[in-house]
Amino acid sequence: MEIRVQNVSMVYPNGKTALKNLNLDLKSPSLIGLLGPNGAGKSTLMKLLVGALLPTAGSIQVDGRPLTRSEKQLKSRLGYLPQDFGLFDELTVAQFLDYMAALKEIRSPKTAVSQAIEAVNLKEKAKSKIRTLSGGQRQRVGIAQALLGDPSFFIFDEPTVGLDPEERIHFRNLFSQTAQNRLVLLSTHIIEDVQSVCDQLVVIHHGRILFAGTPEELILTAQGHVGIFWEQEAFEEEGLHITARVNTSQGIRCRAVAESLPACAVPEEPSLEDAYLYLISREVVS
Ligand code: ADP
Ligand code: MG
């Protein structure tokens, strides 16, 4: 499966520009992390990719055909978890998933529902009403409905919101397994979600793509821009982003990301988080 986004812009009816001339290629198999601060345009891009919104300019091709002409076909292969997904509180987990399976016209709904429940570890809650579930459990029901019917293309909009650290690790592994022979796009503003599992990263900010490539390539962009120094040595340096500040017996040790580091700084190997911060902080809004 290949999705090609060409010169896509999105201006909402109220005049707000959410995406500006985006170009992007997504190819399976891959687990792609869509990173960006709140308001960057992640959800808007995902809504365009599932055909829930039409771009105001540009085009989206799925396997060489315009999305507008292959929408039905795409939806039958798609698992989508929207950011603000509403669940039916009075239904049980199993009833809700049965209902979603019916909407998706899944052939053997019973098997599909029990597989999805198993995949998200909700077996003991299958007969519980959704309104009795915790935030993390509700999020797992959302993920379960996306898994129904074994789609070949997944879009998860902030899937790890509300999950505790153990649940996050479970889902990271699940997404990684899912992506072995499929295309999975997940959005997040949490670096740890993408760090260990994504083979591709797309960073967007203010509706523009700042980076698309591998995590290793992103880290390389911050080479020479991360350093450690003692706080009193570098006061009020312009464009300096302190990422760690540790009180030690010798003084305050700082780790920082900057376009140009203070002369006293000892260079450090950048982490993915450093590189992300460097990229976002460097961007000039135009
Ligand atoms: P993200 O998911 O990265 O947080 P969104 O795609 O939700 O970002 O939003 C991108 C921008 O578009 C934001 O400035 C947001 O306020 C705006 N926006 C989102 N949805 C609408 C809408 N329905 N009408 C007007 N503006 C919107
Ligand atoms: Mg969003």
Q: Is 44 in the pocket of ligand 1 (CB under 6 A)?
A: yes
Mean pLDDT within 98-126: 94
Q: Which two three-digit tokens encode residue 135? A: 């935030």
> Residue whose CA is closest, atom 13 of ligand 1?
39
pLDDT in tens, 142-200: 999 999 999 999 999 999 988 889 889 989 999 999 999 999 999 998 898 898 899 99
Task: For residue 156, list its beta bridge partners.
Answer: 81, 186
> Residue whose CA is closest, atom 25 of ligand 1?
12
Ligand 1, residue 38: give the atom nearest the CA: 4
pLDDT band at 74 (very low <50, low <70, confident <90, very high): confident
- If one residue of 10, 16, 285 were mutated to test the ligand 1 pocket, choosing by the most ligand atoms within 8 A of its CB, it would be 16
Q: Is 221 in the pocket of ligand 1 (CB under 6 A)?
A: no
- Residue 230 alpha carbon to ligand 2 centre in Å: 38
DSSP 214-275: -HHHHHHTTTTSEEEEEGGGSTT-TTEEEEEEEEETTEEEEEEEESS--TTPEE-PPPHHHH
pLDDT in tens, 255-270: 999 988 888 899 999 9
pLDDT band at 234 (very low <50, low <70, confident <90, very high): low
Exposure on the CB side of residue 87, measured as CA atoms within 13 A:
28
For the cut 70, the answer to whether the pLDDT of residue 113 exceeds it is yes
Residue 85: strand, helix, or coil? coil
Q: In which region does residue 165 sit, left (phi positive, over 0), alpha (psi from -120 to 50) or beta (all else)?
A: alpha
Q: Is 46 in the pocket of ligand 1 (CB under 6 A)?
A: no
Q: Is 37 in the pocket of ligand 1 (CB under 6 A)?
A: no
pLDDT of residue 286: 46
Sheet strands side by side (includes 78-81): 78-81, 153-157, 183-188, 30-35, 200-205, 208-213
pLDDT in tens, 13-72: 999 999 999 999 999 999 999 999 999 999 999 999 999 999 999 999 999 999 999 888
**Who has greater pLDDT, 8 or 232?**
8
pLDDT of residue 237: 64
> Residue whose CA is closest, atom 7 of ligand 1?
43
